[in-house]
Structure 1
Amino acid sequence: MKFFIYNTNKEIAAQIENYIYEERELLNKCVEIDVSYSINDTLKILKTDEWYDLLYLGINNFDEDVFRIASIIRNKYKTKGPEIIFTDYDTTECHKLFKYEPLNFYCYPIRKEIIKVDIEKIFNRVNKEENEVLKFHYDGITKGVSFDEIIYIEAKGNNSEIYKKDGNVDNATESISKIESRVKTEGFIKCHRSYIANLKYIEGYSHNKIYIEGGYEIPIGRTYAKEVKKIIFK
Structure 2
Amino acid sequence: MANLTIVGVDDEYPALELIRHYCDQIENVDLLEVFQNPEEALQYLQKNRVDLVILDINMPYISGIDLLLKLPYKPLCIFLTLETQYAVKAFELDVVHYLVKPVDFETFKRAVYKAKDFLQFKKSAEDKKHEDFIMFKSNYIMNKVLLKDIKWIQGFGEYIILITHLKKYMILERMSNFEENFQNLGFIRIHKSYIVLFSHISSYDANTIYLKGGEQLPLGRTYKKQLKEYFG
Which TM-score band applies after superposition, normalised by the shorter structure? Answer: 0.3 to 0.5
Q: Which has the higher contact order (CA 8 A, sep 6+)?
A: 1
| TM-score, normalisation: structure 2 | 0.46
| TM-score, normalisation: structure 1 | 0.45
Which of 1 and 2 has greater Rg? 1
